[in-house]
Amino acid sequence: MRSSASHKLTTRTLAAVAAAVGALTLTAGPALAAPTGATAASGCTTTDIHLDPAAREVGWTVECTDRRYVFVDITIFAGGVAHSNPTEARWVDAGGTWQDLNVYPQTSPAIDHFCAHLVSYVDPTNPLEQPQVIGHSCI
C-alpha cells in the first residue's frame, strides 16, 4: 500500500511541475518575441557577408540606423582545425555603412573554411550590455 501512495505523490508532484513549466512558457513566450516597429528598425543590420576560402577573402557590409559599435569575430580554419581568430571593430554612425574586405595569407595546410560573427553594442564599455547579433555565417 505504501508504494501506491508514494507513486500517487510522485505523479501529483510531476503533474504540478509540468503545469508550472507550461505556465512559465506561456508567460515568457510573448516577452521573448522579436521586436517590432521602431525597436526592430534601430541598431545595425548586416546586408552582406562574403566568405571565400579559395580566395582567402572575408568581407561584410553593415548598415546602421543608430550609432553603434560593431565587432566582427572571424575564425580561420586550416586543415579542419581553427588556425587563427582575427577580430575587427569600429564605430558606425547613424545612417552609416561599414563595408570591408580582408584577404588573409595562405596557410599550410591551406585555409579550408571561415566563420564570421558580427555583433553591435550601444556602449561597448558597459559590461552588462548584451550585444545584438547582427550576422553570422560559416562556409
Identify the residue whose cell numbers are 596557410: 107
| Residue pointed to by grid coordinates 599550410 | 108
**pTM for the whole structure:** 0.70
pLDDT of residue 42: 78
Mean pLDDT value of segment 13-25: 42
pLDDT(2) > 60: no
Report the alpha-carbon distance of residue 69 to residue 92 in Å, rounded.
6
The pLDDT of residue 128:
98
Amino acid at 81: V
CB of 135 within 8 A of CB of 60? yes
Select from 46, 114, 124, 128 the least CA-distant residue to 85: 114
pLDDT for residue 29: 37
Q: Is the pLDDT of residue 3 over 90?
A: no
Task: Give the list of residues 6+ apart from residue 68 with CB closer than 8 angstroms, or none.
Answer: 43, 44, 91, 92, 120, 121, 122, 132
Q: Check whether 44 has a pLDDT greater than 80.
A: yes
pLDDT, tens digit, 9 for 90 and up, residues 54-110? 999 999 999 999 999 999 999 999 999 999 999 999 999 999 999 999 999 999 999
31-45, 74-88, 96-110, 116-130: segment of lowest average pLDDT = 31-45
Whether pLDDT at 38 is above 90: no
